[in-house]
């Protein structure tokens, strides 16, 4: 159901953005969609619904403070969207999604696009600075089929920039690796700027 709900959710948000922001180009629309349909907003929406009370998860799916991992909560929200679509149809599913994700849609309407989407940010930096595209490669997979942890490296122009970003999904690990790469680039720029001032 999570697989199905993911597609329904993406379609509803894409339709909403297309109808409400006709002047935005494809790149901006894609970034806006990724801003809304990502782990953090979906996990927060799941928490607001109280879904964590109905999830029975293995200890490994909990954080150090016993909270359920955001990726699991996001999946649960997508599953609910899929179930609503199956039981009630598209109009009710659309109302539910737009109601629950309204704060994040308001955010993108104010131009706050790409928040938390480190892969998109890294892509923009890499294109602007080096006209290169970052490549992501899985370095390790650990754990059983139901409890896998992925480690991902991000490579730019043959050089590893983000090392060992970890997550319960490849997508989550890629975001972690991209964040590491952005931080490395920022530190390098700050260091070079400091040297120039000496």
Q: Give the mean model confidence (pLDDT) for residues 102-108.
A: 92
Q: What is the CATH number of the domain that holds 188?
A: 3.30.160.20
Q: Average of pLDDT values for 163-189?
A: 84
Query: Cα(179)–Cα(9) distance, rounded to whole angstroms?
Result: 25
- Is residue 98 domain-shared with residue 9, that is, in the same domain? yes
Shared-domain flag, residues 125 and 61? no
**pLDDT value of residue 187:** 86
In a shared domain, residues 6 and 88: yes
- The top-scoring range by mean pLDDT among 60-69, 76-85, 127-136 is 76-85
Question: Do residues 138 and 75 share a domain?
Answer: no
- Using a cut of 0.75, tell me whether the model's pTM lies above it: no
Q: Are residues 137 and 105 in the same domain?
A: no
Report the domain count for the chain: 2
Most confident of 106-110, 122-126, 146-150: 106-110
- Give the model's pLDDT for residue 6: 94
Residue 19 sits in a domain of what CATH number? 1.10.1520.10
Residues 39-80: pLDDT tens digits?
889 999 999 999 988 888 877 777 766 788 888 899 999 999
- 129 and 98 in a common domain: no
The pLDDT assigned to 64 comes to 65
Domain shared by 25 and 104, yes or no: yes
pLDDT value, residue 114: 72
Per-residue exposure over 29-47, b if at least 16 CB sit within 10 Å of its own CB, e if not:
bebbbbbbbbbbbbbbbbb
Residue 62, pLDDT score:
74
Please tell me whether residues 105 and 7 are part of one structural domain: yes
pLDDT value at residue 146: 67
DSSP 38: S
Q: Are residues 20 and 98 in the same domain?
A: yes
Domain boundary among 74, 109, 144: 109
Catalytic residues: 6, 78
DSSP 8-state secondary structure symbol assigned to residue 117: -
| 92 pLDDT above the threshold of 80 | yes
Mean predicted confidence (pLDDT) in 170-176: 83
Q: Which band of pLDDT confidence, cut at 50, 70 and 90, is reported for residue 20?
A: very high
Q: Which of 60, 81, 109 is the last residue in one of the domains?
A: 109
Residues 96 and 148 in one domain: no
11-to-90, 125, 135, 185 alpha-carbon distances in Å? 10, 28, 27, 35
Say yes or no: 92 and 122 in one domain: no
pLDDT over threshold 80, residue 144: no
* Domain span including residue 65: 2-109
Question: Are 139 and 80 found together in one domain?
Answer: no
């Amino acid at each position: 159901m999570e697989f199905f709900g993911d597609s329904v959710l993406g379609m509803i948000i894409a339709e909403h953005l297309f109808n409400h922001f006709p002047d935005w180009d494809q790149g901006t629309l894609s970034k806006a969609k990724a801003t809304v349909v990502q782990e953090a907003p979906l996990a927060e929406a799941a928490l607001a619904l109280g879904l964590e009370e109905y999830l029975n998860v293995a200890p490994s799916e909990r954080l150090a403070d016993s909270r359920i991992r955001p990726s699991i909560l996001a999946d649960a929200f997508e599953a609910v969207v899929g179930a609503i679509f199956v039981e009630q149809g598209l109009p009710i599913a659309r109302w539910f999604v737009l109601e629950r994700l309204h704060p994040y849609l308001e955010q993108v309407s104010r131009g706050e696009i790409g928040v938390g989407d480190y892969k998109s940010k890294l892509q923009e930096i890499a294109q602007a600075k080096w006209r290169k595209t970052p490549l992501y490669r899985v370095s390790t997979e650990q754990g059983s089929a139901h409890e896998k942890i992925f480690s991902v490296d991000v490579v730019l122009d043959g050089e590893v920039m983000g090392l060992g970003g970890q997550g319960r999904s490849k997508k989550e690990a890629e975001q972690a690796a991209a964040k590491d790469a952005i931080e490395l680039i920022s530190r390098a720029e700050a260091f070079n700027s400091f040297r120039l001032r000496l």
